[in-house]
Structure 1
Amino acid sequence: MNEVGHLYKKYQFPNFVQAMEFANKITEIAEQAAHHPDFTISWGACNVEIWTHKIDGLTENDFILAAKIESINYLG
């Protein structure tokens, strides 16, 4: 969790391409769930932040989405 109470994790990769591939996998999961995290991609990293925008807080769906993202196979 970050300082504003959102779920947050920085995933690290050996290069930009793998970080982007990971972000694309997140996009697929988010579209299926109709629940979209905020994320940024930089060289060797994908930062993911999840919360329910409507209530500016956390719901069960946030934890479900986080678990699905955690299940992605990645080399970090």
Structure 2
Amino acid sequence: MSENGAWVERDGALERELVFDGFREAIAFVERLADLAESENHHPDIAISYKRVTVRWTTHSAGGITDRDRELAARTDDLV
């Protein structure tokens, strides 16, 4: 994986863009993230564009970012 952005607060969500070495590496990361999201029953918005993955954690029912989103953002970092 190459360059990585930091988590930023944007439009009521924690957002981070990750850049991987290629498409397969990006998809493998998304699969790990999907496993985490399913195990926690809390699902981020994910956008994939070739080797770039944008992850957005927010709690819609709370209308924005919660401690749970911050925790799952940190756990997302561990998956990278």
TM > 0.5 between the two?
A: yes
Residue 59 in 1 paired to residue 66 in 2? yes
For residue 70 of structure 1, what is the aligned residue in structure 2? Answer: 77
Task: Say which structure, 1 or 2, has more relative contact order (CA 8 Å, 6+ apart).
Answer: 1
Q: 2:53 aligns with which of 46, 67, 70?
A: 46
Shift of 1:58: 1.0
Q: 1:11 aligns with which of 15, 18, 29?
A: 18
Distance 1:68 1:3, change over 3 A: closer
Q: Partners of 1:4 and 1:52 in 2: how far apart?
A: 12
Percent identical among aligned pairs is 32
After TM superposition, the score normalised by the length of structure 1 is 0.88
Q: Partners of 1:45 and 1:55 in 2: how far apart?
A: 28
Q: 2:42 aligns with which of 35, 43, 50?
A: 35
After TM superposition, the score normalised by the length of structure 2 is 0.84
Aligned residues: CA RMSD = 1.1
Which residue identity does 2:62 align to in structure 1?
I
